[in-house]
């Protein structure tokens, strides 16, 4: 942690309103490249809202207004010339409930890739390679390689969630946003997905929203604590958990409110 | 300790009565259907044969078959579908996948609801004014089908929207987050998963189109034509109007004939509905969630 590479995500005075309700207040965060950062805080504190700003999926709701800036890899994603599709390509998202498309496993992996390479000639063997690479990367290849043409919705939840991560990889994202990626999973599956996330550490900047204190503690490098739309504390996970600077953080971590 | 109190017993009584009442109402609903079908089959059934379906009316429509009317109805339905399905599905896609909830969308929605509520005779007069006279199509299949299309558009739009909205939002979010455009999302995920619902709406529209009389009366359907239509600019006979004619306009029609015509018309509609149900079951089976 001695070297200080430029942050993968850098927000400046980010404010966000849903209609007249302000959900984020002056969020200034620098999220380090290649690490896993967890976002914790009670429900409604703005964690998910913040996450959804980073690939601009929030805007789909017409009544959302933001001020301030977010730079991803040094580029302002709210700049006027920005193409949304390119933002989403670089910043992938994994949801709370696994949401594989109602297509085969193979088609799920290729969906994003084809979307971004429409019109180009891609041979079947190239596609096979992409599918194999993505599935191997998420430790799913051995279990599903024999049934790539089966529907993805028949996989177990753990496998579905891994698939949802895998399908982001062929377009080579730099940032992976995960919104409570394990909350629909049982403890064993949670462990497996956490292991996978740890596996991906280094190659991707990963930002995880979680309600699970233990998960934040064991599976992240840095931790951000938010409360009522404000960032209260941001530091190394061990520091935040062992010696938090703010009383609110300590209270939350100890379970005095949630 | 767990025995029924007086209140429990009274509630149970009310419960039984309410249930009985609702059951009676439901049965009441089925009775007309059974009666109509029963009378039609009883009165009109004996006259029906392959010949009846495939020959022209004879002797001032008091005898012979219904072939030109049958063919005419098929023409009208097909042309009406060719117009209303693309427009209706596109409009539904816009409203459900693209439009934001603003005043314009609300005005459009209100217009659709109102369009659905316009009486068919008003549609007929609109058809005469717009298609027959203004666009100069004359009384023709085209004018009649366009009138029918306008009339059934709300059905297509509403049922298509319902089908689209039945596709889980999570699929769309997944696509958008992978950088798919709305159209790519629609093309690859939304439409394949809503096609069964859309078809159901289309087939509902077919039944309605086949049965309507007023909108085609002044716009393209003829009292009697001894030949089949060759192009969409010809007039045609139609089942629904033919039924009206043989029931009320022509003297000396045998008593059973109108029943037989009605039976064929209902059979067409019921066949359409059965196909739609079968199709839906087939496509449901292919759904992957």
Please state the rounded mean pLDDT for residues B239-256.
Answer: 85
Q: How far is B194 from chain A (nearest CA, A)?
A: 12
Q: How far apart are CA A122 and CA B113, in angstroms?
A: 47
Q: Which of A241-255, B80-94, B190-204, B268-282 has the highest mean pLDDT?
A: B80-94
Q: How far apart are CA B147 and CA B132, in angstroms?
A: 10
Structure tokens at B39: 């009378």
Domain boundaries, chain B: 66-286
Q: Is the pLDDT of residue B92 over 70?
A: yes
Q: How far is A194 from chain B (nearest CA, A)?
A: 21
Residue carrying the six token digits 């059979």: B267
Residues of A in contact with B289 (CB under 8 A): 102, 153
Other beta carbons within 10 angstroms of residue A239's beta carbon come to: 14
Taking alpha carbons only, the member of A99, A71, A61, A59 closest to residue A181 is A99
Contact indicator for B196, B158 with CB cutoff of 8 Å: no
Fold assignment, B66-286: MetI-like fold (1.10.3720)
State the number of CA atoms in the 13 A half-sphere of B93 facing the CB.
18
- Model confidence over A122-165: pLDDT tens digits? 888 999 999 999 999 998 899 888 999 888 888 999 999 999 99
Q: Can you give the pLDDT at residue B2? A: 85
Mean pLDDT (chain B, rounded) = 87
> Which of B97, B105, B177, B284 has the most A C-beta neighbours within 10 Å, making it the best mutation to test the interface with A?
B177
Domain boundaries, chain A: 9-100+171-253
Residue in chain B closest to A60 (alpha carbons) equals B100
Residue A115 and residue B184: Cβ atoms within 8 Å?
A: yes
Homologous superfamily (CATH) for A9-100+171-253:
P-loop containing nucleotide triphosphate hydrolases (3.40.50.300)
**How sure is the predictor about A1, in pLDDT bands with cuts at 50, 70 and 90?**
very low
- Model confidence over B46-89: pLDDT tens digits? 888 888 888 888 777 777 888 888 888 888 888 999 999 999 99
- Model confidence over A80-119: pLDDT tens digits? 898 888 898 899 999 988 989 988 999 999 998 988 887 7
Residue B179 and residue A57: Cβ atoms within 8 Å?
A: no
- Model confidence over B136-159: pLDDT tens digits? 888 888 999 999 999 999 989 999
- Model confidence over B262-271: pLDDT tens digits? 999 888 888 8
Taking alpha carbons only, the member of A225, A228, A222 closest to residue A250 is A225
Out of A102, A111, A168, closest to residue B193 by CB? A102
Q: Is the pLDDT of residue B288 over 60?
A: no
Q: How far apart are CA B230 and CA B142, in angstroms?
A: 12
Taking alpha carbons only, the member of B150, B116, B145, B135 closest to residue B219 is B145
For residue A36, what are the β-bridge partners?
Answer: A206
């Amino acid at each position: 942690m001695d070297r200080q590479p430029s942050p993968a995500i850098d927000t400046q005075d980010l404010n966000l309103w849903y209609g007249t309700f302000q959900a984020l207040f002056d969020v200034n965060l620098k999220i380090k490249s290649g690490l896993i950062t967890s976002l914790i805080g009670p429900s409604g504190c703005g964690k998910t809202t913040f996450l959804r700003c980073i690939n601009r999926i929030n805007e789909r709701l017409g009544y959302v207004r933001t001020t301030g800036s977010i730079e991803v890899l040094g580029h302002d994603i709210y700049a006027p010339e920005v193409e949304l599709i390119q933002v989403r390509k670089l910043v992938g998202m994994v949801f709370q409930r696994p949401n594989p498309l109602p297509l085969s496993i193979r088609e799920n992996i290729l969906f994003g890739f084809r979307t971004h390479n429409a019109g180009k000639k891609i041979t079947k063997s190239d596609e096979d390679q992409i599918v194999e690479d993505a599935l191997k990367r998420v430790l799913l290849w051995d279990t599903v390689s024999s049934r790539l043409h089966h529907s993805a919705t028949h996989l177990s939840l753990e496998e579905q969630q891994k698939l949802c991560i895998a399908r982001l990889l062929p377009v080579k994202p730099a940032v992976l946003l995960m919104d409570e990626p394990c909350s629909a999973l049982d403890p064993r599956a949670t462990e497996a997905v956490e292991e996978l996330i740890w596996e991906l550490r280094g190659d991707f900047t990963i930002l995880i929203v979680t309600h699970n204190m233990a998960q934040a503690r064991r599976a992240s490098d840095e931790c951000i604590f938010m409360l009522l739309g404000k960032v209260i504390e941001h530091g190394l996970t061990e520091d935040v958990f062992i010696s938090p600077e703010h009383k609110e953080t300590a209270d939350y971590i100890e379970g005095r409110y949630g | 300790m767990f025995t029924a109190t007086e209140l429990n017993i009274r509630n149970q009584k009310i419960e039984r009565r309410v249930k009985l009442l609702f059951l009676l109402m439901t049965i009441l609903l089925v009775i007309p259907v059974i009666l109509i079908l029963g009378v039609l089959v009883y009165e009109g059934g004996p006259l029906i044969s392959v010949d009846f379906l495939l020959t022209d009316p004879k002797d001032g429509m008091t005898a012979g078959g219904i072939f030109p009317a049958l063919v005419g109805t098929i023409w009208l339905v097909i042309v009406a579908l060719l117009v209303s399905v693309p427009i209706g599905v596109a409009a539904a896609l816009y409203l459900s996948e693209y439009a934001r909830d603003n005043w314009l969308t609300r005005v459009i929605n209100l217009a659709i609801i109102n369009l659905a509520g316009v009486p068919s005779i008003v549609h007929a007069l609109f058809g005469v004014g717009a298609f027959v006279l203004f666009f100069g199509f004359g009384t023709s299949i085209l004018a009649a089908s366009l009138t029918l299309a306008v009339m059934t558009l709300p059905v297509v739009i509403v049922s298509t929207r319902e089908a689209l909205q039945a596709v889980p939002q999570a699929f769309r979010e997944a696509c958008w987050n992978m950088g798919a455009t709305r159209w790519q999302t629609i093309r690859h995920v939304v439409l394949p998963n809503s096609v069964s619902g859309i078809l159901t709406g289309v087939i509902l529209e077919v039944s309605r189109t086949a049965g309507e009389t007023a909108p085609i009366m002044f716009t393209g359907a003829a009292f009697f034509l001894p030949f089949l239509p060759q192009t969409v600019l010809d007039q045609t006979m139609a089942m629904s109007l033919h039924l009206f004619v043989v029931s009320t306009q022509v003297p000396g029609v045998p008593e059973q004939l109108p029943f037989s015509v009605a039976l064929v018309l209902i059979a067409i509609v019921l066949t359409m509905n059965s196909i739609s149900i079968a199709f839906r079951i087939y496509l449901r089976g292919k759904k992957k969630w």
